Amino acid sequence: MTSSMIGIEAAFIGLTFLLAGFVKGVVGLGLPTVAVGLLGLVMPPAQAAALLVAPSMVTNVVQLFSGPRFGQLLRRLWPMLAAICAGTWLCAALVPARMMVHATAALGVALVLYAVVGLAAVKMTVPPAAERWLGPLAGFVTGAITAVTGVFVIPAVPYLQGLGLDKESMVQALGLSFTVSTIALAISLAMGGALLHMPVLGASVLALAPALGGMFIGQWLRHRISVERFRRLFFCGLLVLGGELALRGAF
């Protein structure tokens, strides 16, 4: 690869994480979805997921400690969080390497499903009695999808939205779920060797700066624009991006 191509790729990665961080700053989620989706246009999903680790970890930890209910949420959500780890590691260990050639298509399908759910404004309600079994189920499926695509929003986000949390608790619960998902993904990638290469580690750390910059800009802009309008544009963009990845991965 020539130096000019390396420069173009580095600029694309930086702009991608700037945009992904901006989206997260405005709507509270979307960094891994936007980053892995756009990076999936130029690299395999596993490589995109490896670049995601540092920016996702730091921005999610910042979001996690933005509220006072960490202990309360941890006690309530630990079955789902444990299942996320189990699903990620089990799927990563059991899915044959030859199946990973379909990861791009799987990522596209995951993005399309997420966009459709978002545009339809589907709001599920989780009865308290169902949390005991539905939480671990949602966590395990989320972990399995994370292992293949690097995206950890489906079905964790709709499940958390169905718990009826207040806005502050919801933002903190998302940060908790995403932090655990990122840790599980990082361990899975490290065990598979994807994080053992210094260039990947270095690129992931360098991507942290634009991600944090975009996040702070998005937070500043959050109170100055219609979040609902932005969410619709965000999901429409994901729908187009996911469709393109699904079609490209299928052929």
Query: What is the pLDDT tens value at each position of the chain, 251 positions in all?
Result: 566 667 788 889 999 999 989 888 877 777 887 888 788 788 877 778 778 888 888 888 877 776 677 888 999 999 999 999 999 999 988 877 666 667 777 778 888 888 888 888 777 789 989 999 999 999 999 999 888 877 788 888 889 988 988 877 887 888 899 889 989 988 887 776 655 555 667 788 888 899 999 988 988 887 777 767 777 877 887 788 788 778 776 66
Residue 251 structure tokens = 């052929």
Interatomic CA distance for residues 93 and 43, integer angstroms: 22
The CA–CA distances, whole Å, from 212 to 3, 58, 62, 86 equal 27, 8, 10, 29
